[in-house]
Amino acid sequence: MIKKKIVFRTDGDIKIGLGHIYRCIGIAEMLCNDFDCEFLLESQSKIDNVIPKHFTIKHIPNDYSIELEHQWIQSNYDTNSLLIILDGYKFTSLYQKNIKKIQAKLIYIDDLLCEHMFADAVINHTPNVNINLYKKETYTKLYTGLDYVLLRQSFINEATLKKETNSNISSALITFGGSDEHNITLKILKSLLTIKKINSISIIVGELYPHKNSLVSEINHSSKNIQLFSGLSEIKMIELMKKSDIAFAPCSTTCLELIAVNSLIFAGYSASNQKHLYNYLKSQQLIFDLGDLHTITSKEVNEIIMQHIDNRTEINKMLFLQNQIIDGKSGGRVKKIVKDLI
CA dist 310 and 315 (Å) reads 8
Confidence at residue 60, expressed as pLDDT on a 0 to 100 scale: 96
> For the chain, what is the domain count?
2
177 and 58 in a single domain? The answer is: no
178 and 303 in a single domain? The answer is: yes
pLDDT in tens, 143-157: 999 999 999 999 999
CA dist 37 and 84 (Å) reads 10
Degrees to nearest 5, angle at CA 256 with 52 and 120: 70
- The pTM is what? 0.93
Degrees to nearest 5, angle at CA 307 with 303 and 309: 110
Confidence at residue 46, expressed as pLDDT on a 0 to 100 scale: 74
289 and 332 in a single domain? The answer is: no
CA dist 313 and 309 (Å) reads 11
235 and 266 in a single domain? The answer is: yes
**CATH number assigned to the domain comprising residue 294:** 3.40.50.2000
Here the contacts of 233-237 (C-beta below 8 Å, separation 24 or greater) are 234/152, 234/154, 234/155, 235/154, 237/204
132 and 271 in a single domain? The answer is: no
Contact (Cβ atoms closer than 8 angstroms) between residue 177 and residue 204: no
| Mean pLDDT, rounded, of the chain | 94
131 and 10 in a single domain? The answer is: yes
- Given a cut of 50, the residues of the chain with pLDDT beneath it are none
- Burial-class residue 213 by CB neighbours within 10 Å (0-12, 13-18, 19+): exposed
126 and 197 in a single domain? The answer is: no
260 and 283 in a single domain? The answer is: yes
Q: Which domain holds residue 212?
A: 156-322
309 and 173 in a single domain? The answer is: yes
Confidence at residue 164, expressed as pLDDT on a 0 to 100 scale: 75
302 and 216 in a single domain? The answer is: yes
pLDDT in tens, 211-230: 999 999 999 999 999 999 99
Backbone φ and ψ of 257, nearest 5°: -65, -40
182 and 144 in a single domain? The answer is: no
